[in-house]
Amino acid sequence: MKRVKLIGLTGQTGSGKSTVAGYFEQSGFAVINADALVKRVYEKGGSCLAAVSANFGEDILNPDGTLNRPALAKKAFASKEATRALNELVHPFVLRELLKDLKNVKGCAVFDAPQLFESGIDVLCDVIVSVVADEEVRLKRIISRDGIDEAQARERINAQLSEGFFRSNSDFIIENNTEGDLENTALKVIPLVSEALKNSSR
């Protein structure tokens, strides 16, 4: 059976990656969202949640045993080391779910994943597209999107890989500093990605 071609879509927090994922979907691509997979592996009573609470403390759980996301985020974004530790615990579970979902896809799929490189799943991708934006632009977006203060937003930015890393390790870069230009830029890149898939030998 011919394997599914996989596009890795990633980028900096606050860059507009999810909006770009929507444009891929509108263009006919199957999109698998990593955050949805994470939500799935964090289900109450699951082995992933048990491993995370064992390493980060029972106080990341709500009284009913479900995940308290703000409590985990506070600990996980406190340092790059903490972020890395969480990633190492969760990513194997996410990979397992991704492979399950890919069984239902024909042709090619987009994996929308903020932690694509950290998870090691980038090695499975035929093409990698990263969305980037200036730090101050992203800062405002994160504060507005997540309802957090500037210090917390900067913690999230600092916990991620640098813009230079994304630029050096991606096949295509989409810059999103001006909201009005994102759609035009993305729709120009998507046909180029399709063409690159045809010639990919990853």
Q: According to the model, what pLDDT value does residue 183 have?
A: 85
Q: According to the model, what pLDDT value does residue 1 have?
A: 41
Name the pLDDT band for 201 (thresholds 50, 70, 90): low
CB-based contacts of 40, cutoff 8 Å, min separation 6? 97
Q: Is residue 171 part of a domain?
A: yes
Q: Is residue 32 part of a domain?
A: yes
Average pLDDT value over all residues in the chain? 91
Q: Is residue 90 part of a domain?
A: yes
CB-based contacts of 102, cutoff 8 Å, min separation 6? 4, 6, 32, 109
Q: How far apart are CA 23 and CA 16, in angstroms?
A: 11
pLDDT 10s digits, 172-195: 999 998 877 888 888 899 999 988
Q: Is residue 202's pLDDT more than 60?
A: no
What is the number of alpha carbons within 13 Å of residue 137 lying toward its C-beta?
12
Q: How far apart are CA 194 and CA 187, in angstroms?
A: 11
Q: Is residue 200 part of a domain?
A: no
Report phi then psi at 7, rounded to 5.
-100, 125
Q: Is residue 202 part of a domain?
A: no
CB-based contacts of 60, cutoff 8 Å, min separation 6? 52, 53, 67, 68, 71, 72, 75
Instruction: Report how many domains make up the chain.
Output: 1
Q: According to the model, what pLDDT value does residue 53 have?
A: 95
Q: Is residue 199 part of a domain?
A: no
pLDDT 10s digits, 109-168: 999 999 999 999 999 999 999 999 999 999 999 999 989 999 989 988 888 889 999 999
pLDDT 10s digits, 39-77: 999 998 899 999 999 999 999 999 999 999 999 988 988
Q: What is the CATH number of the domain that holds 130?
A: 3.40.50.300
Domain of 133 in residue numbering reads as 5-194
Residue holding tokens 């799943």?
A: 121
Q: Is residue 147 part of a domain?
A: yes
Q: Is residue 124 part of a domain?
A: yes
